[in-house]
Structure formats: structure tokens, C-alpha cells
Amino acid sequence: MTVIQLNTNSTLNGHKLLAITPWPFPHDFLGHLHTRFPGLSVALYKAPFGEGNWNDIPEEDKKDVTLLVTGTCFPTLEQAPKLQFVQVLSAGADFVLDAPAFKNSNIPFCTANGVHGGILGYGSIGRQVARICKAIGMDVHAYTLHPRKTPESRRDETYTPPGLGDPEGIFPSKWFSGSSKKELHDFLDSGLDLLVLSAPLTKSTVGLISHQEFNILGKKKAFVSNISRGQMINTDAFVEALEGAVIRGAAIDVTDPEPLPDGHKLWTTKNLIITPHVSGATTAYAKRFLAILEDNLERFSQGRKLTNEVSRKDGY
């Protein structure tokens, strides 16, 4: 395994940043980076999110890269032997887990959490949902993998834009946690009128919401919203719950399969709203992402712990 040691380098002298993005970096941001980190070299390569191949990038752009901004285009360690830090464009980390440079090294990979009822997954996105729910008078219940029994443990250590989210973890009136079916069912059976799925996709969350879970939610005819990943919901069980009026309705920004093919039964399922995975695509996304990137470059230059680093143990 390749092991990376973070050291202090306040100007990032000798470092090269390659940014593979679907939008161009603003000129004022590039000027700001040059002023803040005068030793940093920057190369830009435009590619739609989810596309792009490392071999297609010009050699002069990718040569000697130490810092990488990317959507889903990842090099191997052999292709980028000097790589020390990767900042991905999305809040989700599921597509990072199989990247060879992630699996075979300790190189920090960081997500863009913070760019964007009962909330299953109380990270940056879930906390912003909680802020909105609380503002309209809802009682918020939160569900997390690990227990959050103290005020310190409920704080959000990920990047949070000022005035957004729930950085201190004060909005939920009840906290639930665990990885067992019983612990999940206790949360779902806590009188929910609305369930929002905002948890990361991992091996343990694939098919997390299925027949049993919909039957529990059916006690109060809950409404379900999925803004995480389509595979968290068993599609057949989902269709049955909607067609049988077990749950009140649903709104989903993600599907399984995705993209949803023509003629798929979800297109005609009643009481269902489908959007094409655009819930995170706000007009402010690029600006907020660049704020996260700058924060992490600052931390990297000082040898400090990075924000939103993907856990190799938990898978998100």
C-alpha cells in the first residue's frame, strides 16, 4: 500500500493541481488561488460529470499531478505516482470505493458534503433538510450509523456553509442509531409522516428499505423522499407500497436502475414524482464546491485533517 505523509507547505510550492470539472474555474478564483498559494501550479480539463478518461487528458496537464479535483475520472497509482490528495465533485462516495488509488493507498479522498420528518442519514445534506423541516414546524427524528449521545458527538465535522445545515446537531428531538434491522425499525416506527433518505450508499445500505420497512411506514401512511442513491430502496417493494397505498406517496431524485429506461414500471407508478438526479445541481453548486476545495487546500498546506474525508472503514 502507498502511504502518504501530510507535511506543512504553506505556499504549496512544488504541487500541481489538476481539475477535471464539467464547468470552467472562474478566473477570479484562479487568481485567488495563485495569490494564496503562489507555489501551486494549476491545470484545467473540462469533462462532463461521469465521463472522462485519464488516458484522454493531455500529458502536460496530468504529468506530476499531486492534487486532483475530479468527478469520476480516477487514475491508478502508476498513472499518478505523486498523487497526495483527491477532492471529488459530489457528496456521494460510492463510486470512489473501487478506485485503485483509494483501495491501495491512504491518499485522502474528500467529498463535497455541504454543497447542497425522519431523516435517515444525518450528514450535511440531511442536516439542511432538517433545517427546512424545523422551519415549517416539523418535529425532526434523525437516524445515524453511530450513536450520537453527547452534544460533542452530534456536531457536524464536515464543511457547512454559514447559515445552512445543523452544525451543532440541535434540530432533532430524537436520535436513533445502529446497523441492525431492529434499530432501523425502531426509527421507522417512531411515528414518521415523512421519511427522507440522505444516507450514503454502502454494502450495508443496499436494499435498506424494502417490504418490512414499507409496512412499518404504512402505519402512518408516510411520504418517502429519496435524494441519496436509488439502490437504497428495493424497487419492487417500492412499487407495491405505492400501488397498494401502503405509503401516501413518494418523490425520488434517484432510481434503481439509473438512468431509468423507457417503459420501466416506475414511470407509471401512482403517487410518485421522479426527477433526473438534479437535486444537488443548484446555481450555487460550483461556488460552494470551490469554497470546500479552498478550505481543504488550506488544511492540506498546513498538514491538518481534511474536511469530508471518505472513511475506508465505513465506506463514506
Mean pLDDT, residues 283-295 taken together: 85
- Mean pLDDT over 147-176 rounds to 89
Please tell me which residue, 26 or 238, carries the higher pLDDT value. Answer: 238
Mean of the per-residue pLDDT values of the chain: 90
Tell me how crowded residue 215 is: count the other CB atoms within 10 A of its CB: 15
- Going along the chain, which residue ranges are E strands? 16-21, 41-46, 67-70, 85-88, 109-110, 118-120, 141-144, 174-177, 194-197, 223-226, 249-252, 272-274
What is the DSSP code (8-state) at residue 18?
E
pLDDT (average), residues 41-62: 89
Comparing C-alpha atoms, which of 188, 179, 177 is closest to residue 211?
Answer: 188
Q: Domains (ranges, CATH) in the chain?
A: 16-113+283-301 (3.40.50.720), 118-274 (3.40.50.720)
pLDDT higher than 80, residue 90: yes
In this prediction, residues 41-50 reach a mean pLDDT of 88
**pLDDT attached to residue 92:** 77
Q: What is the pLDDT of residue 113?
A: 73
Q: Summarize pLDDT for 96-141 with one digit per residue, the tens.
A: 888 999 999 999 999 987 553 678 888 888 999 999 888 888 899 9
3-state secondary structure of 44: strand
Give the per-residue pLDDT at 116: 36
Q: Which residues pair with 175 in a beta bridge?
A: 142
C-alpha–C-alpha distance, residues 257 and 235, integer Å: 9
Give, in order, the Cα–Cα distances in Å from 63 to each of 67, 70, 86: 11, 16, 15
Confidence of residue 8 (pLDDT cuts 50, 70, 90): low
Q: Dihedral sign for Cα 296, 299, 301, 304, please.
A: negative
What percent of the chain shows pLDDT beyond 70?
95
Cβ atoms 198, 225 nearer than 8 A:
no
Edge-to-edge strand order for the sheet containing 67-70? 41-46, 16-21, 67-70, 85-88, 109-110
Select from 194, 145, 148 the least CA-distant residue to 168. 148
Write the single-letter amino acid at 150: T
Average of pLDDT values for 163-184? 93
